[in-house]
Structure 1
Amino acid sequence: MNSLRLLIVDDEPLIRAGIRNGLSSIEGIEIARESSSVAEAMQALESEQFDLVLLDVQMQDGTGLDVVQGIGPKRMPPVIFVTAYDEYAVKAFELNAVDYLLKPFDDERLCHSVHRAQERIAEQRQAALADHLQALLDTRPRRWPERIAVRQREQFDLVPVESIDWIESANNYVQLHCGPKQYLLGESLTHIESRLNPAKFLRIHRCRIVNLSRILAIHPMLSGTYEMELRSGIRLATGRQYKDAVQALLHN
């Protein structure tokens, strides 16, 4: 992992020196800049990118909370608040700080806090990377299969998807109805549904999927369901839980 760029904000030189020394043994930490006031901290955060901020709560020209407010919580890097007053700890966690350090603190407590921050930042980066990769997948054009391989004894028949009239479940199999031909395929109805283009195939029943191009007419039933009449003359009953999907088809 790349080094985390750290900004130290404290108006006491000895505290800043103690933080520098305490973090010298931690790998992956780069102390990129130090600030001794609210004004300096805001200028640094506006002009540079930091991964983590150790932020003193009480300074001569204001507070660390003023820094957060001035930069904006959404733009603020992860923060470890440094304070001499216990009551600020509550406010720190209200602001979703990674941690807080209560003065005086030793090197062990400092390192524990920074390690905790490293873990959280790594998790956030991984989550951001996962979101980015998912966004790439979501924008990638989906390629739907043109043929489905069905095993027939010693060979595989390649069934054109466009030849399928409708599909029904048969225990742990599905039956493909293709005009006068039928094929038994060893997978579930839900699985084959995920492989078919939803713009061309619609699930109308827990046991049935229909090729939309084969529908000749849709007949409302007294039960609130429908019957779909296919070009072949067969009629397929829809399920109650798929009523909305059929009505959406009618409206579109």
Structure 2
Amino acid sequence: MPELDGLGVLDELMDAVGPEAMPLTIFVTAYDQHAVRAFEANALDYLLKPFSDERFEATMARVKNRLKNQLDQRSLHEFGQRLMQMIAAKPSAPRRLDRLVVKSGGATRFVRVAEIDWIEAAGVYVTLHLNSNFAPKSAGTEILYRSSLAELAERLDPARFIRVHRSTIVNIESILQLEPISHGEFDVVLKSGARTRISRSYRAQLEERLGQSL
């Protein structure tokens, strides 16, 4: 090496690629006076000639272990980056409805969800059953609203509304009592006097919401 020795090559490489991209380095030399400088340059090993096959194999084993650790750390770092990207790209939860805009007979009415006692599926519509304390006498307590029951269940606050049947959602605050029927089913008696049914398949959801068994 007429112009640069091994340490000079490392210095040039460091300037070119930076410390993060530096390759693993092993010095093989007949001179022991450069050992300190070699390890200061983060050399993985320093083989002093003559060396045995066992010494060489031990060095190669160290290289393999170091490369494996670097790959594991890189994989973990890349996984962390992908996870952060997924979290950043995760869509925000849908905004819960606080009122419904109902168009009927050329007029537009705003119905606060707190006014709703229960909701009943009606084909591509649902029927909103309003608390009589809130419903104007001229408008009645039943309003037809264009939405599927499943779509509305996703948009309503689960802390207030719970689906109790494939065709029914009730406002928990409007429930007066439950009356057992048979085989795990209950009649829901609302404060308004209206009645609906809790089916067995939706009973577990209500129990989870209440935090206790029925």
TM-score interval (norm. to shorter): 0.5 to 0.7
Question: Where does residue 251 of structure 1 map in the other structure?
Answer: 212
Q: Is residue 2:59 matched to residue 1:130?
A: no
Q: Counterpart of 1:35 in structure 2: which amino acid?
A: L
Structure 1: any 5+ residue segments left out of the alignment?
Answer: 1-12, 14-19, 21-30, 45-57, 80-120
Cα deviation, 1:196-229, whole Å, max 9, x if unaligned, reads 1100000000000000000000112222111111
- Give 1:73-92 correspondences, 5 Å limit: 73=72, 76-78=73-75
RMSD (Å) for aligned C-alpha atoms:
3.7
Q: Say if 1:69 and 1:35 are closer, same or farther in 2 by CA, change over 3 A.
A: closer
Q: Tell me, what secondary structure is at the counterpart of 2:127?
A: strand
Q: Distance in 2 between matches of 1:149 and 1:69?
A: 61
Q: CA offset at residue 66 of structure 1?
A: 1.1
Question: Where does residue 153 of structure 1 map in the other structure?
Answer: 105
Question: Where does residue 232 of structure 1 map in the other structure?
Answer: 192
- Give 1:30-69 correspondences, 5 Å limit: 32-37=21-26, 60-67=59-66
Question: Where does residue 174 of structure 2 map in the other structure?
Answer: 214
Q: CA offset at residue 32 of structure 1?
A: 3.0
Q: Distance in 2 between matches of 1:246 and 1:203?
A: 8
Q: CA offset at residue 36 of structure 1?
A: 1.7
Q: Distance in 1 between matches of 2:68 and 2:86?
A: 30
Q: Say if 1:185 and 1:77 are closer, same or farther in 2 by CA, change over 3 A.
A: same
Q: Please tell me whether Structure 1 or Structure 2 has the larger radius of gyration of its CA atoms.
A: 2
Q: Distance in 2 between matches of 1:222 and 1:155?
A: 44
Q: Tell me, what secondary structure is at the counterpart of 1:35?
A: coil
Q: Tell me, what secondary structure is at the counterpart of 2:206?
A: helix
Correspondent of 2:183 among 223, 228, 244 = 223
Question: Where does residue 16 of structure 2 map in the other structure?
Answer: none
Count of aligned positions: 163
Q: Distance in 1 between matches of 2:68 and 2:185?
A: 57
Q: Is residue 2:138 matched to residue 1:182?
A: no
Q: TM-score, normalised by structure 1?
A: 0.54
Question: Where does residue 10 of structure 1 map in the other structure?
Answer: none
Q: Counterpart of 1:36 in structure 2: which amino acid?
A: T
Question: Where does residue 170 of structure 1 map in the other structure?
Answer: 122
Q: CA offset at residue 251 of structure 1?
A: 1.4
